[in-house]
Amino acid sequence: MFPKKNELVSAYVIHTRPFQDNKILIDLLTTEYGLVRAVWRLPKKEARVVPASFLPYEVLLKGKKELKSLHLLESTYGRVELTGLKLFTGIYAHELLLKLLPMNLPIASFFEIYEWLITSLQADVPIAPLLRRFEYALFDEIGSTINFNTTTVGAPLESDVLYGFDAQFGLRPYSLDAVKSVARRPLLLVEGRLAMQYAQGQWSNGAVLRLAKELHRHWLNHLLDGKEIEARKLLPTYSYDGERHFDIPVFRT
């Protein structure tokens, strides 16, 4: 899909880097075209002023090739300032977008999720539920939702059954004795009731959030084939300190 002539679209700046002379490359998250890479010529009198992240813009894009030309960049909102953990959370979200979203794929619904995240980060609300919901929506957008509705063979989950999760095969019923063999050990163990609450998106549930934090780390590692997420270094160090069985994290309601 190519930009329509003289059509302004809503966008957020996700990443910028020097290109040549007084030009920069900008990765934009847009409503109509998804993630777009464009060349932007900085005005001479503002040559060192780079467009800010987390700020909504109206932009004019031109060009039929993958690399677009950015002809207009106008802010539609006053200054947005994220600091501390909120800033690091935004940087983390941007890195996930650049690593996981394909270029030039329309994603109007996900643009709304991103906008919700940035707006919410400006408010005095807990960050963990925001991040987990954002990650979940991103997995769904790229067609890699974690199936916590059924087992690997399509059977419905049972509330009181303990399941082992494997990134390749999904959920399978497990008895605690079954994980004694190293070759058969899952990434985590989860009670059926809690798995269903996760699938329902109960982000205000503390048990769901603890599960999602561990689960999403494994899933991102799976999607990125083990490639490191640099922005994690900015976030608080995480180590699961709950119930374990043969060193496997166990999650229950």
* Residue spans of alpha helices (H) in the chain: 84-100, 108-121, 127-141, 192-199, 206-223
Architecture of domain 8-141: Beta Barrel (2.40)
Residue 184 CB: number of other CB atoms within 10 A? 12
Q: How far apart are CA 167 and CA 77, in angstroms?
A: 41
The one-digit pLDDT tens for each residue of the chain (253 residues) are 555 667 899 999 999 999 888 899 999 999 989 999 999 988 776 555 688 999 999 999 998 888 999 999 999 877 778 999 999 999 999 999 999 999 998 877 889 999 999 999 999 899 999 999 999 999 999 999 999 999 999 999 999 999 999 999 999 999 877 656 556 689 999 999 999 999 999 999 999 999 999 999 999 999 999 999 999 999 998 889 999 998 999 999 9
* Cβ pair 250, 244 in contact under 8 A: yes
Q: Where in the chain do CATH 2.40.50.140 domains reside?
A: 8-141
